[in-house]
Amino acid sequence: MTNSTAHHPAFTFIRSEFIDALNVTVQEFEHTVTGAKHFHIASENDENVFLVGLKTVPTDSCGVAHILEHTVLCGSERFPVRDPFFMMIRRSLNTFMNAFTSSDWTAYPFASKNKKDFHNLLDVYLDAVFFSRLDELDFSQEGHRLEFAEPTNPDSELTYKGVVFNEMKGAMSSTTSVLWQTLTKYLFPDNTYHFNSGGEPTDIPDLSYDDLLAFYRTHYHPSNAVFMTFGDIPAETLQTEFEEKVLSRFERLATQVSVPNAKRYFSPVRVEEGYAADEVKEDGSHVVVGWLLGESIDLGQQFEAELLSSVLLDNSASPLRRVLESSDLGRAPSPLCGLEDSNKEMSFMCGLEGVKRENTAQVEALIVSTLEEIAKNGIPQEMVDAMLHQLELSQREVGGGSYPYGLQLILAGLSTAVHSGDVIAQLDLDPVIESMREKVQDKDYIPNLIQTLLLSNAHRVTLTLSPDDALEMRRNQAEKDRLGKIKAALSDEEKANIIARSEALKARQSQVDDMSILPKVGLEDVPARLPEYDKHQQASELPVTFYPQGTNGLVYQQLVITLPELDEEEKSHLPLFSSLITELGVGEQDYLAIQERQVQVCGGLGASNSIRASIQDRQTVSAYFVLSSKALVPNVSAMSELLKDTMLNVRFDEISRVKELVAQRRSRREQSITGQGHSLAMTAAASGISGLSAQQEEWGGMTGIRKAIALDDAMKAGDEAVENLFAVFSRLHKKLLRAPKQMLLVAEPQHEASILASVEPVFADLPKGESSTVFALPNVDRKVNTAWLTATQVSFCSKAFKTVSGEHPDVAALTVLGGFLRNGFLHRVIREQGGAYGGGASFDGTNGAFRFYSYRDPRLTETLADFDASIAWLLNEEHGDDALEEAILGVIGSMDKPGSPAGEAQSDFYVQLHGRSLAYREAFRKRILAVTVEQLKTVAKTYLTKENENVAVVTSTAKRAELEALGFDIQTL
């Protein structure tokens, strides 16, 4: 790993440090003239990441920082096109592109494995952030505007439109979001965190265009910026571009943007507010107690708070979580339980949901008395050591998933960088872990932390958030009244101006920009081959597949069991079995002892099901049950013992434990609706297309949420429902023990021999696979026309068309078609003109479903019509090769998106396990690259027809009459 300090002369080198646990070198520089910081994380990783972060400090809830984040990406000095951000998404091989608004910073990150593409994106991002056009029409589109319901008729109803306006209506339909925003409003009485940086829908219309410009001038300046990069491009090369394209044009700002610390309370505060609900349930309240702590940029304070939070709440054996989970005062621990350390000042929260409103004082007293008891009696040393072990695991793990690994590291240091803290110390946790190991030897250390940070801390807020079934109606009426007053006061000239602006915006949205001014990659830049992963297979009674990968001292282990034939009850409860098996007792040990054992030896246990349709027939599936864990190399034997014990000896007798877990699962599922409404709508729309798609709706869709609610209600009525469930679990467990098994291991190559030597003896006595019958699902082929009603201010719409799947030659064209329709039509009409936060189309090749969707959408009927209009646009218009190339690049980019080293190995194992060989995937890739516009039209004509159409929406109860008139089958939770 290079430790070079080479840099551009416009920058001053500050320091450099190699971090062994991460295998990276972190370099810190400062731009001499403007004071802009640059942190470069030098790595041999070829996925390069860029982020520019700005401290953004709103002083109200009008959403200025959030609306600015959107508007900044609508054209700039060198790239004066209407939508360079979304245009670059489809002209790029990026592995990540986005923008974020946090409570006190705004960030613009991207990542790419292709060097040409990286520099293209860097060019556009730098110009967008520092030289944005900020056109007033873009502010109207992205932020808010007044518009007549019939845009050219001044006698029709006046409405609010705007992407962020509707996005925040959707976001603030989430009870968890309301809970967090309300609690921080009181925890921070007088600084920026008091306000909703995303914007309150009631306040967003108060933001003026001039306010937006003023905020941009003071906040979007290099003196208020931090540049953060990761990868194998040298810091000097990057700084040359920063200097030439941006920094040379600026001087240092005289005044600095800052966040003052919050004014402290001298005694605890108790408050109550409401959240919108369809019905008022007696036990529908949330009670959360929150404390304001010290500064997050003080690493010592931050780590102490992190350790304390982990010790108290990490798992079911943690003393505070144990009390919350088993309390009769509420249904489950609050989703806010834990430490929030992304703000300048940290906060610690805990509480319960599903509480009777009159029991607030009892919940508060329970939390305080539990903390007093823990402070008095102390914490077992092995539990504290286990939490330090977990912190080391998380420090060493090379991440993957939704964010590139380099971006995860950057985001870990971003808040510290924005508030001028020590970024290197924030990333290099080994020294602070070692320091903590010494401190925790003092048995009074944790009790003293509880006393000083919590019990003696008067800055405490107890919030009760209770359901209000009239709140949404009052809110809608207030908006209607406000618009009515505005309309009544409008002169004829002002009405004409609203109409003229609507027409001007529509014309702007419909204009065809000269995209040639934007840089691009082409199909010639696409890698010719898919990566082939090295693996070693041991043919024994328990077959083992070992992937040698750079896992930074960790071992990933999975026991993979072929799913046997299941009866209807077993099938229905399979996901619940998977979520509970690692949360119960094992053998002689109860669940608390097992939770302690898990955190001592590994990164926890997880169970899941891997089920995919065959490439020959969508009604046939291959299915596996997977028990997985990860650990540091020295702990691999102990992890294997735990894995085997759990699989062999899991207990089905802990009735109260299962009741708690089912209640928690219900809460999580209910709270997920407004965040993933589009996925739920698509799952519902596609549920009639195959046996697997129907099962996915029953397990993970709105039907699955309704079943989770019904099961929880049944368990509250008595123990019989739990005992019946245990009987099903026991049958399912016995079948799994008799089924064929294999092992997947991923670790660094030098550890292969020692790991195999440790693992194989542990599993030698595992029952051998005997089962010959395998998991199957009934054939399903039926029409869907369903509307699910819930508490939301926006809609999520979907249409799913039955098509073909697997090896069929039309699958490649259908895969490209989704991006083609989104890029050319759906993005403009659903997001820009319709005001939804998002919309598009995608193809599910496993189930053979082509799916349209919208996300946080103010419209419903019109959006469903727009899905059809996109098909007509495809068939009736002429389309150029550039649009086709962009859609193909999008597909290839998603196919080539890298994961973590362990994640890529696991993905390779499972695609092959499900019959998708490397040769099959490369042949499919070639077909993608060869798709033509004519093929897109052919598959649209063939499959996107009324007889193949299915429709589902997730929307507000206020839409019932409209949906009934449209003939929907109305469903409620």
**Chain centre to alpha carbon of residue 798:** 21
Q: Let me know whether 414 and 555 are in one domain.
A: no
Secondary structure class of 956 (helix, strand, coil): strand
278 and 252 together in one domain = no
Instruction: Give the domain extent around 313.
Output: 269-468
CA distances from 275 to 279, 464, 536, 857, 959 (A): 11, 10, 55, 21, 20
Q: Which two structure tokens, joined as six digits, stand for 813?
A: 């064209």
What pLDDT score does 541 carry?
Answer: 82
State how beta strands 554-562 and 741-747 pair: antiparallel
Mark whether 252 and 293 lie in a shared domain.
no
Amino acid at 286: H
**Cα gap 624→610, rounded to integer Å:** 5
pLDDT at position 510: 86
Q: Residue-wise over 534-547: b if at least 16 C-beta within 10 A, else e?
A: ebeeeeeebebbbb
Is residue 487, in this structure, part of any structural domain at all?
no
Pairing, β 741-747 against β 544-548: parallel
Strand ranges for 581-661 from DSSP E: 605-613, 621-632
Residue in the structure block whose two tokens are 């993005």: 827
**The predicted structure's pLDDT at residue 51:** 98
pLDDT for position 310: 95
User: Would you say 518 and 88 are in contact if contact means Cβ atoms under 8 Å apart?
Assistant: yes
Indicate if 921 and 791 belong to the same structural domain: yes
- Residue 608 burial by CB count (10 A; 0-12/13-18/19+): exposed, middle or buried? middle
**Residue 319: CB partners within 8 Å, gap ≥ 6?**
311, 312, 370, 374, 379
Instruction: Give me the pLDDT at residue 401, please.
Output: 64
Residue 484 maps to a domain: no
Which regions in the chain score pLDDT beneath 50? 1-2
Residue 478 counted as domain residue: no
Is 328 part of any domain? yes
Segment holding 698, helix H or strand E:
helix 691-700
> Among candidates 138, 17, 158, 154, which has minimal Cα distance to 73?
138
Nearest to 415 by CA among 61, 102, 108, 189: 102
| Together in a domain, 85 and 122 | yes
Q: pLDDT tens for residues 782-825?
A: 999 999 999 888 999 999 999 999 999 999 999 999 999 999 99
Q: 497 in a domain, yes or no?
A: no
> Tell me, what's the pLDDT at 502?
94
> Is 486 within the bounds of a domain?
no
CA distances from 944 to 801, 846, 927, 947 (A): 6, 17, 21, 8
- pLDDT value at position 21? 80
- For residue 62, how many other CB atoms are within 10 A of its CB? 25
Residues 51 and 117 placed together within one structural domain of the fold: yes
pLDDT at res. 2: 47
Q: Are residues 243 and 107 in the same domain?
A: yes
**Of all helices (H) and strands (E), which one includes residue 367?**
helix 360-377
Asked if residue 479 belongs to a domain, the reply is no
- Tell me: do 942 and 817 sit in the same domain: yes
* Residue 794 and residue 758 in one domain: no
Whole-angstrom distance, CA of residue 134 vs CA of residue 447: 53
Answer yes or no: are the C-beta atoms of 148 and 502 closer than 8 Å. Answer: yes
Picking from 517, 549, 580, the residue at the C-terminal end of a domain is 517
Instruction: Give yes or no: residues 831 and 723 share one domain.
Output: no
Q: Record the tokens describing residue 76, joined without a space.
A: 């700039």
Contacts 24+ apart (CB under 8 A), 239-244: 239/7, 239/8, 239/10, 239/11, 239/29, 239/38, 240/8, 241/119, 241/122, 241/123, 241/126, 242/8, 242/31, 242/36, 242/38, 242/126, 243/8, 243/10, 243/11, 243/31
Largest CA distance in the chain: 86
Domain total for the chain? 4
Dihedrals phi, psi of 228, to nearest 5 degrees: -130, 130
CATH code where residue 665 lies? 3.30.830.10
Contact 856, 830 (CB under 8 A): no
Number of residues assigned to the chain: 973
Do both 20 and 102 map to the same domain?
yes
CA separation (Å) from 316 to 304, 323, 573, 601, 722? 21, 9, 22, 16, 19
Q: Do 315 and 429 reside in the same domain of the chain?
A: yes
Nearest to 636 by CA among 536, 767, 757: 757
Residues annotated catalytic, as ranges: 69
User: Can you tell me which residue has the tokens 């790991």?
Assistant: 755
Domain membership of residue 496 (yes or no) is no
Structure tokens at 81: 């096109």
What local confidence, expressed as pLDDT, does residue 645 receive?
97
